[in-house]
């Protein structure tokens, strides 16, 4: 095997997993070529992402854990100290140190730009990479494209949870450390909706509808606003397809899949940010250390399996079930058990439900 520093590595996508991978390769003296189809890094839409501690047990603090294990420091927008949940006939709140809010988009404080500032290699923008051509030219290709396109062509992708998102930046009055979540089959089917604040005056409001498409998402969005009686002003509006998939294997020849392209978007609430970072870093490590990529991914794959099982149960939920779920999750004794311990609730919830 040639010296690690001489390895030729191409990364498709300068998003979260691609930049995390580039940072780890650089730490080991490898200078990758990074290809990005857009004119710059960062999600096209500005929004506020969430990291909930309950989704990543037994990790207590994801920001600390990523700093220690991946050598990447992320500055959050805010803490999440309160989650309020609404079903048609039940609602309730949970308080505590529940997680973080993370800025996404093109701004300097967006997580993509925070990662970008850690990477020394210049990104080749406006370049739509062809995976097969790169695989012939380079020792390794990391597919960090954020979608299933390339993974599907190589026969490694199976759809798990297909959703269409409609989102907006809304203006009103918000608590900066509170997120809100709605569960209602009338407008979200087996999806959900959530509100995350940028600051006291503006927030992202996102509706996630299962098995919807660009044609009917507007009708669900209208229904959502009518039923929940919102009076916010909208400053920008967008829609987006979001698909979680099961991926195997995660490496085909010299091509490795990371982030969403590697199936690392959990299908319960669509969280993917920190597993995108982790999988990008593990792809780099498996290349420079010569280990099997699948072995590095063991814990991430276990978590995804637990989420897939839970998603299958949630897909059968009616509004009555959501009422019960919220009543149970916010009942005083259960609240203490679920949120103030470090129990891996996601692993066990499918069985309990
Ligand atoms: C609206 C929305 C809200 C979300 N909210 C959350 C949240 O709250 N919490 C959470 O954890 N996750 C959230 N996610 C999940 C999100 O997908 C991940 O956080 C993360 O961005 C995935 O990282 P990635 O590297 O796989 O893909 P991305 O960050 O999307 O990066 C992929 C990059 O590859 C580029 N690319 C694609 N194909 C090519 C090509 N052929 N050639 C060159 N470049 C290419 C793209 O332009 C893009 O820049 C959300 C996603 C969306 C869309």
CA 7 – CA 234 distance, rounded (Å): 49
Sign of CA dihedral 110, 270, 40, 202: negative
Between the alpha carbon of residue 148 and those of residues 88, 113, 145, 193, 330, the distances in Å are 34, 23, 8, 23, 36
**Cα(109) to centroid(ligand 1), Å:** 16
| Best residue for ligand 1 mutational test, from 66, 236, 259, 278 (most atoms within 8 Å of Cβ) | 259
pLDDT of residue 188: 97
Burial of 282 (0-12, 13-18, 19+ CB in 10 A): buried
- Quick one: pLDDT at residue 252? 98
pLDDT at 2 (0 to 100): 64
Cα–ligand 1 centroid distance for 182 (angstroms): 23
The alpha carbon of 50 and the centre of ligand 1 are apart by a number of angstroms equal to: 14
Most ligand 1 atoms within 8 A of CB, residue of 14, 15, 77, 197 to mutate? 15
What pLDDT was estimated at residue 1? 53
Question: What structural domains and CATH numbers belong to the chain?
Answer: 4-352 (3.50.50.60)
Going edge to edge, which strands form the sheet with 140-143? Answer: 123-124, 33-35, 9-12, 140-143, 255-257, 251-252
- Please give the distance, rounded to the nearest whole angstrom, from the Cα atom of residue 274 to the centre of ligand 1: 11
Distance 211 CA to ligand 1 centre (A): 20
> Is the distance from the beta carbon of residue 50 to the nearest atom of ligand 1 less than 6 Å?
yes
Find the 217 Cα to ligand 1 centroid distance in Å: 20
Question: From the CB of 14, is ligand 1 less than 6 Å away?
Answer: yes
Which residue is closest in CA terms to ligand 1's atom 23? 16
Q: SS3 for 92? A: strand
Determine the pLDDT at residue 351.
74
Residue ranges in the chain modelled with pLDDT below 50: none
pLDDT at residue number 337? 66
Q: Between β-strands 47-52 and 33-35, what pairing exists: parallel, antiparallel or unpaired?
A: unpaired
306 lines ligand 1 (CB under 6 A): no
Check pocket membership of 278 for ligand 1, CB cut-off 6 A: no
For the CA atoms of the chain, what is the radius of gyration? 20
- Predicted confidence at residue 202, as pLDDT, reads 98
Using the Cα atoms of residue 336, residue 337, residue 340 and residue 345 in order, give the sign of their dihedral: negative
Atom in ligand 1 nearest the alpha carbon of residue 48 = 8
Which atom of ligand 1 sits closest to the CA of residue 35? 43
DSSP 212-256: --TTTHHHHHHHHHHHHT--PEEEEEEEEEEEEEEE--SEETTEE
CA 86 – CA 91 distance, rounded (Å): 4
Q: What is the DSSP letter of 117?
A: T
């Amino acid at each position: 095997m040639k010296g690690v520093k001489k390895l030729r590595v191409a990364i498709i996508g300068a998003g979260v997993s691609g930049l995390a991978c580039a940072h780890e390769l650089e730490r080991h003296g490898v200078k990758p070529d990074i290809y990005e189809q857009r004119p710059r890094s960062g999600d096209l839409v500005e929004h506020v992402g969430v990291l909930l501690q309950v989704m990543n047990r037994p990790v207590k603090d994801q920001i600390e854990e990523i700093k220690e294990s991946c050598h990447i420091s992320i500055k959050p927008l805010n803490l999440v100290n309160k989650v309020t949940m609404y079903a048609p006939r039940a609602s309730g709140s949970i308080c505590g140190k529940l997680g973080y809010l993370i800025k996404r988009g093109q701004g300097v404080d967006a997580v993509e730009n925070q990662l970008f500032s850690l990477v020394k290699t210049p990104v080749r923008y406006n370049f739509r990479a062809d995976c097969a051509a790169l695989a012939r030219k380079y020792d390794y290709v990391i597919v960090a494209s954020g979608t299933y396109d390339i993974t599907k062509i190589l026969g490694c992708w199976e759809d798990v949870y297909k959703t269409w998102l409609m989102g907006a930046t809304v203006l009103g009055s918000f608590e900066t450390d509170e997120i809100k979540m709605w569960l209602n089959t009338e407008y979200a089917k087996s999806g959900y909706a959530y509100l995350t604040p940028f600051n006291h005056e503006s927030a992202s409001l996102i509706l996630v509808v299962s098995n919807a498409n660009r044609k009917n998402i507007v009708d669900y969005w209208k229904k959502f606003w009518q039923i929940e009686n919102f009076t916010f002003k909208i400053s920008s509006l967008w829609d987006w397809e979001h698909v979680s998939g099961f991926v195997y294997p995660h490496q085909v020849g010299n091509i490795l899949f990371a982030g969403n392209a590697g199936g690392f978007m959990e299908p319960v609430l669509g969280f993917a940010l920190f597993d995108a970072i982790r999988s990008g870093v593990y792809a780099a490590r498996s290349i420079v250390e010569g280990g099997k990529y699948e072995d590095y991914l063991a814990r991430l794959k276990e978590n995804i399996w637990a989420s897939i099982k839970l998603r299958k149960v949630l897909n059968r939920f009616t509004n009555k079930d959501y009422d019960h779920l919220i009543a149970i999750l916010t009942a005083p004794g259960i609240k203490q058990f679920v949120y103030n311990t470090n129990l891996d609730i996601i692993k066990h919830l499918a069985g309990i439900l």
